[in-house]
Amino acid sequence: MTEQQQQQQHYYYGTGKRKTAIARVRLYAGGGGTIVVNGKQVEEAFPWAPWQTVIMEPFKVTGTAEQFTVMAKVEGGGTVSQAGALRHGISRALLVADEKHKSSLRKNGLLTRDSREKERKKYGLKRARKAKQYTKR
Protein backbone atom coordinates (compact mmCIF):
# COMPACT_ATOMS: atom_id res chain seq x y z
CA MET A 1 0.00 0.00 0.00
CA THR A 2 1.31 3.44 -0.91
CA GLU A 3 1.49 6.32 1.51
CA GLN A 4 -1.37 8.11 -0.25
CA GLN A 5 -3.67 5.08 0.09
CA GLN A 6 -2.87 4.82 3.82
CA GLN A 7 -3.69 8.50 4.24
CA GLN A 8 -6.92 8.10 2.23
CA GLN A 9 -8.20 5.40 4.59
CA HIS A 10 -8.39 7.72 7.59
CA TYR A 11 -11.49 9.88 7.40
CA TYR A 12 -13.92 11.86 9.56
CA TYR A 13 -17.57 10.84 9.31
CA GLY A 14 -20.77 12.86 9.66
CA THR A 15 -24.43 12.20 8.91
CA GLY A 16 -26.66 15.08 7.84
CA LYS A 17 -30.43 15.19 7.47
CA ARG A 18 -32.96 17.62 6.01
CA LYS A 19 -36.62 16.72 5.38
CA THR A 20 -36.37 13.18 3.92
CA ALA A 21 -32.82 13.56 2.53
CA ILE A 22 -29.93 11.79 4.27
CA ALA A 23 -26.27 12.54 3.55
CA ARG A 24 -23.44 10.26 4.65
CA VAL A 25 -20.26 12.35 4.51
CA ARG A 26 -16.61 11.33 4.71
CA LEU A 27 -13.93 14.01 5.07
CA TYR A 28 -10.41 13.04 4.02
CA ALA A 29 -7.50 15.30 5.01
CA GLY A 30 -5.82 16.91 2.00
CA GLY A 31 -6.82 16.55 -1.63
CA GLY A 32 -7.28 20.22 -2.53
CA GLY A 33 -10.92 20.59 -1.49
CA THR A 34 -12.68 18.45 -4.08
CA ILE A 35 -16.26 17.41 -3.32
CA VAL A 36 -17.70 14.21 -4.80
CA VAL A 37 -21.42 13.51 -4.33
CA ASN A 38 -22.77 10.11 -5.43
CA GLY A 39 -19.75 9.62 -7.69
CA LYS A 40 -20.12 13.02 -9.41
CA GLN A 41 -18.31 16.32 -8.89
CA VAL A 42 -20.35 18.84 -6.88
CA GLU A 43 -20.75 21.10 -9.96
CA GLU A 44 -22.39 18.23 -11.82
CA ALA A 45 -24.54 16.96 -8.95
CA PHE A 46 -25.70 20.46 -7.89
CA PRO A 47 -25.40 22.67 -11.01
CA TRP A 48 -27.12 25.76 -9.58
CA ALA A 49 -24.73 28.17 -7.79
CA PRO A 50 -26.91 28.81 -4.66
CA TRP A 51 -26.96 25.04 -3.95
CA GLN A 52 -23.15 24.99 -4.14
CA THR A 53 -23.01 28.01 -1.82
CA VAL A 54 -25.16 26.16 0.74
CA ILE A 55 -22.87 23.12 0.55
CA MET A 56 -19.65 25.17 0.91
CA GLU A 57 -20.92 27.20 3.90
CA PRO A 58 -19.33 25.04 6.66
CA PHE A 59 -15.91 25.38 5.00
CA LYS A 60 -16.27 29.17 4.65
CA VAL A 61 -17.30 29.55 8.31
CA THR A 62 -14.37 27.46 9.58
CA GLY A 63 -11.85 28.56 6.94
CA THR A 64 -10.98 24.97 5.95
CA ALA A 65 -11.99 25.05 2.25
CA GLU A 66 -8.83 23.53 0.76
CA GLN A 67 -7.92 21.23 3.67
CA PHE A 68 -10.40 18.39 3.11
CA THR A 69 -11.70 16.17 0.33
CA VAL A 70 -15.38 15.29 0.66
CA MET A 71 -16.86 11.96 -0.43
CA ALA A 72 -20.63 11.88 0.15
CA LYS A 73 -23.59 9.65 -0.57
CA VAL A 74 -26.93 11.46 -0.56
CA GLU A 75 -30.32 9.83 -0.94
CA GLY A 76 -33.97 10.83 -0.61
CA GLY A 77 -35.66 14.19 -0.80
CA GLY A 78 -35.26 16.84 -3.48
CA THR A 79 -32.25 18.81 -4.62
CA VAL A 80 -32.66 21.60 -2.07
CA SER A 81 -33.05 19.24 0.88
CA GLN A 82 -30.11 17.13 -0.37
CA ALA A 83 -27.93 20.26 -0.39
CA GLY A 84 -29.11 21.07 3.16
CA ALA A 85 -28.42 17.51 4.32
CA LEU A 86 -24.95 17.66 2.78
CA ARG A 87 -24.24 20.94 4.58
CA HIS A 88 -25.36 19.41 7.88
CA GLY A 89 -23.23 16.30 7.32
CA ILE A 90 -20.12 18.31 6.42
CA SER A 91 -20.61 20.44 9.55
CA ARG A 92 -20.82 17.35 11.77
CA ALA A 93 -17.77 15.78 10.12
CA LEU A 94 -15.77 19.00 10.61
CA LEU A 95 -16.74 18.89 14.28
CA VAL A 96 -15.36 15.33 14.54
CA ALA A 97 -12.17 16.46 12.76
CA ASP A 98 -11.57 19.39 15.11
CA GLU A 99 -13.60 20.39 18.19
CA LYS A 100 -12.35 24.01 17.91
CA HIS A 101 -14.86 24.62 15.09
CA LYS A 102 -17.86 23.99 17.37
CA SER A 103 -18.48 27.60 18.40
CA SER A 104 -18.32 29.04 14.87
CA LEU A 105 -20.47 26.25 13.41
CA ARG A 106 -23.01 26.57 16.23
CA LYS A 107 -23.10 30.38 15.92
CA ASN A 108 -23.99 30.11 12.23
CA GLY A 109 -26.65 27.46 12.87
CA LEU A 110 -24.89 24.70 10.93
CA LEU A 111 -25.02 22.02 13.65
CA THR A 112 -28.75 22.34 14.30
CA ARG A 113 -30.86 19.84 12.39
CA ASP A 114 -33.71 21.57 10.53
CA SER A 115 -36.62 19.57 11.97
CA ARG A 116 -39.34 20.92 9.63
CA GLU A 117 -41.11 18.05 7.87
CA LYS A 118 -44.08 17.88 5.51
CA GLU A 119 -47.35 17.76 7.43
CA ARG A 120 -49.53 14.75 6.66
CA LYS A 121 -52.82 15.01 4.80
CA LYS A 122 -55.94 14.79 7.01
CA TYR A 123 -59.09 12.94 5.98
CA GLY A 124 -61.96 15.12 4.80
CA LEU A 125 -59.52 17.78 3.56
CA LYS A 126 -57.82 18.31 0.22
CA ARG A 127 -54.33 18.76 1.70
CA ALA A 128 -52.94 18.99 5.23
CA ARG A 129 -55.10 22.02 6.10
CA LYS A 130 -56.99 23.06 2.94
CA ALA A 131 -60.72 22.34 3.17
CA LYS A 132 -63.48 22.58 0.58
CA GLN A 133 -64.89 26.05 0.08
CA TYR A 134 -67.73 26.77 2.52
CA THR A 135 -71.02 27.87 0.97
CA LYS A 136 -73.61 29.55 3.18
CA ARG A 137 -76.52 29.15 0.69
Q: Which domains does the chain have, with CATH numbers?
A: 3-107 (3.30.230.10)
How much is the pLDDT for 137? 85
* 2-48 confidence digits (pLDDT tens): 555 545 578 999 999 999 999 999 999 988 889 999 999 999 999 99
Kindly report each contact of residues 44-47 with a partner whose C-beta sits within 8 Å and lies 24 or more positions away, as own/partner: 46/79, 46/82, 46/83
Contact (CB, 8 A) for 38 and 22: no
Nearest to 22 by CA among 101, 88, 68, 115: 88
From first CA to last CA, the distance across the chain in angstroms is 82
What's the whole-model pTM score?
0.88
Tell me what the mean pLDDT of segment 48-56 comes to. 96
Tell me what the mean pLDDT of segment 95-119 comes to. 95
